[in-house]
């Protein structure tokens, strides 16, 4: 597997960050005012806490899902005419993939989301959800980041 030797932060935090992001994405899905994928993309790109997580800030790594939710720049999010309903397993998988890819390849969350927005992650779910997380990360990396040729 292609992986940088310099991961985003200590592995000790990884499982907790994954759990918190699953919860965060579930909270976003319950918000009927804005489109879920728009909230995910804007959180990944513009959240102050998320950018501190990228840098391994211990305080940011220990924030709760509600604290992360309150840091979403809702003014940037697209309004929902009707809210699509996503199943929790799908949203959990998307959250896990974003956290793992950001951690493993040491991409900033904003860069990761620009290259692989939530709508593309959604499209990748159906062929990849039956494989291991390691395999899914590697396939996403090869498809969207061209073996490391894409630079931040």
Tell me, yes or no, if the pTM score tops 0.95. no
At residue 87 the predicted structure's pLDDT band, cuts being 50, 70 and 90, is confident
**Mean pLDDT across the stretch 137-146?**
90
As a whole number of angstroms, the distance between CA 30 and CA 2 comes to 36
pLDDT at 74: 98
- Average confidence (pLDDT) over 23-50: 96
Whether the pLDDT of residue 151 is over 70: the answer is: no
Give Rg (Cα) of the chain.
Answer: 14
Share of the chain above pLDDT 70, in %: 92
Token pair listed for 52: 């501190």
What are the tokens at 36? 């879920």
CA distances from 70 to 37, 43, 74, 109 (A): 16, 10, 9, 17
**At residue 150, does pLDDT exceed 50?**
yes
């Amino acid at each position: 597997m292609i992986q940088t030797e310099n991961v985003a932060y200590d592995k000790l935090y990884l499982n907790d960050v994954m759990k918190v992001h699953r919860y965060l994405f579930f909270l976003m899905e319950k918000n009927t005012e804005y489109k879920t994928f728009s909230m995910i993309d804007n959180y990944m790109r513009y959240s102050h806490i998320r950018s501190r997580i990228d840098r391994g800030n211990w305080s940011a790594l220990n924030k709760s899902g509600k604290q992360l939710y309150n840091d979403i720049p809702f003014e940037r999010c697209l309004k929902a005419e009707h809210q699509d309903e996503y199943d929790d397993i799908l949203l959990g998988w998307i959250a896990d993939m974003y956290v793992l890819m950001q951690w493993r390849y040491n991409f900033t969350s904003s860069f990761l989301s620009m290259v692989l927005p939530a709508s593309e992650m959604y499209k990748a779910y159906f062929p990849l959800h039956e494989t291991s997380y390691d395999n899914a990360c590697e396939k996403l990396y090869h498809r969207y980041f061209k073996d490391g040729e894409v630079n931040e």
